[in-house]
Amino acid sequence: MDLTWSPAEEAFRAEARGWLEANVPRGLPSGDTREGFTAHLEWERKLFADRWAVVSWPERYGGRDASLWEWLIFEEEYYRAGAPQRVTQNGIFLLAPTVFEFGTAEQQDEILPRMAAAEQLWGQGWSEPGAGSDLAAISSRADKVDGGWRINGQKTWTTRGAFCTHLFGLFRTDPEASRHAGLTYLLVPLDTPGVTVRGFGRLDGDEGFAEVFFDDVVVPDSAVLGGVGQGWSVAMATTGSERGLTLRSPGRFLAAAERLRRLAVERAGSLTASARDGVVEAHLRAEAYQLFTLAQVTDLVEGRTPGAESSLNKLYWSELDIALHETALELLGPEAELDGPWSRGHMFSLSGPIYAGTNEIQRSIVAERLLGLPRR
């Protein structure tokens, strides 16, 4: 049990902190609006220029070959500095791990540097009107044509889809095969003829969602990631990332718990016993999540893979995030209804138990795979 950082890790932290303090922009509009998205892209390109966009990636793709520990340190510093949301996250945190694992050398060289540089902006094309939690029910299909695939169907709930340039998605390539076997993972430029993207408002009103329609959209064979008919297993490799570490680093919640603590001190006059306890709860849970993650990274570094444990992460951070924001609203009292970071954060927190596999799905995974309870 060693909770200390090495001198090299401390030096990495100091470098990251120094750069962030000098460069983090203030007051960007929401990255889930068209105008705000553009402002965020400038920030992403600045991160890339100084090699902070994808610290854990190889240098040749714009990273620093940082260890998982250094990645955690960077994330802590990133959120501590109050740096902007990562509008590139669905690419760099969800698609990239899959490309590293399943992509051909050509795909890696084509996609990864452009993704890191925020030139290619990736959205996730999994959910459909008829396929949410039951992801394997997707019906958008891709039919074999000479040299490629012809796509027809519809995707929805695509985060920032209206501002993205590319989409990674699952499509049914073999309607005769069983539900999971007939799927293929395809990479689709959104400027391909036949693609129509329509943005729409999320709970906070920002155009952060999109539905994507495919009418005889033809992509080349090189658009297949990880093999025809392999889509399910390729996609599941990404869900581990989505639920677990890469999308929701502990730094985010530690920083939020600290903001909440400061709010409570500022609002001492409305600090009821229950709000005070809510601040304690947020702090306890943010630290528990951090410590859980440190144990998990230790396991990863020593070759023990977490597997279904990522469902525990997802349940914990998503419910902690809601509780934390509810306490903030209680402290704000009549001002809680004003549009602002806490009210927006509260609305956003409500998406946590829904996306990346609903918490109902996660609890079933925990019960079946970690506790060993019988499937139905």
Cβ burial of 216 (10 Å; 0-12, 13-18, 19+) is exposed
Alpha helices in 103-182 (DSSP H): 105-116
| CB distance 250 to 289 below 8 Å | yes
Binding to other proteins by residue 326, rule CB under 8 A? no
The backbone torsions φ and ψ at residue 68, rounded to the nearest 5 degrees and listed phi first, read -60, -35
> What is the per-residue binding string for other proteins in 231-270, x denoting contact by CB under 8 A?
------------------------------x--xx--xxx
Between 22 and 268, whose beta carbon lies closer to other proteins? 268
Task: Choose the stretch contacting other proteins; rule: CB under 8 A; options: 39-47, 202-210, 226-234, 277-285.
Answer: 277-285
| CB distance 214 to 152 below 8 Å | yes
Binding to other proteins by residue 367, rule CB under 8 A? yes
Binding to other proteins by residue 8, rule CB under 8 A? no
Q: Could you say which of 22, 105, 338, 371 contacts other proteins (CB under 8 A)?
A: 371
Task: Choose the stretch contacting other proteins; rule: CB under 8 A; options: 99-107, 135-143, 167-175, 363-371.
Answer: 363-371
- Give the total of residues touching other proteins (CB under 8 A): 54
Lookup result for tokens 């459909």: 128
Binding to other proteins by residue 289, rule CB under 8 A? yes
Say which residues have a Cβ less than 8 Å from residue 77's Cβ, sequence separation at least 6. Answer: 13, 16, 17, 20, 251
Binding to other proteins by residue 55, rule CB under 8 A? no
| CB distance 73 to 55 below 8 Å | no
DSSP run (H or E) holding 123: strand 122-125
Residue 283 C-beta: closest distance to other proteins, Å: 6
Task: Give me the sign of the Cα torsion angle 255, 320, 85, 337.
Answer: negative
Between 5 and 355, whose beta carbon lies closer to other proteins? 5
Q: Could you say which of 114, 160, 285, 325 contacts other proteins (CB under 8 A)?
A: 285
Structure tokens at 99: 């490309």
| CB distance 181 to 229 below 8 Å | yes
Structure tokens at 318: 């998503």
> What is the per-residue binding string for other proteins in 293-322, x denoting contact by CB under 8 A?
-xx-xxx--x---------x--xx------
Nearest to 341 by CA among 320, 359, 324, 362: 324
Q: Of 44, 70, 75, 242, which residue is the catalytic one?
A: 242
Structure tokens at 158: 């695509």
Nearest to 360 by CA among 303, 307, 318: 318
The backbone torsions φ and ψ at residue 358, rounded to the nearest 5 degrees and listed phi first, read -60, 160
Cβ burial of 15 (10 Å; 0-12, 13-18, 19+) is middle
Say which residues have a Cβ less than 8 Å from residue 238's Cβ, sequence separation at least 6. Answer: 94, 95, 97, 98
Binding to other proteins by residue 133, rule CB under 8 A? no
Binding to other proteins by residue 3, rule CB under 8 A? yes
Binding to other proteins by residue 276, rule CB under 8 A? yes
Structure tokens at 228: 């025809």
Binding to other proteins by residue 10, rule CB under 8 A? no
- Separation of first and last alpha carbons in the chain: 40
Binding to other proteins by residue 292, rule CB under 8 A? yes
Say which residues have a Cβ less than 8 Å from residue 319's Cβ, sequence separation at least 6. Answer: 352, 353, 359
Binding to other proteins by residue 22, rule CB under 8 A? no
Between 46 and 276, whose beta carbon lies closer to other proteins? 276
Between 105 and 371, whose beta carbon lies closer to other proteins? 371
**242 given a catalytic annotation:** yes
Q: How far apart are CA 364 and CA 193, in angstroms?
A: 41
Binding to other proteins by residue 69, rule CB under 8 A? yes
Residue 94 C-beta: closest distance to other proteins, Å: 24
Binding to other proteins by residue 335, rule CB under 8 A? no
Binding to other proteins by residue 370, rule CB under 8 A? yes
Q: Could you say which of 110, 143, 204, 368 contacts other proteins (CB under 8 A)?
A: 368
Binding to other proteins by residue 280, rule CB under 8 A? yes
Residues that bind other proteins (CB under 8 A): 1-6, 9, 69, 261, 264-265, 268-273, 275-277, 279-281, 283-285, 287-289, 291-292, 294-295, 297-299, 302, 312, 315-316, 360, 362-364, 366-368, 370-376
Catalytic residues: 242
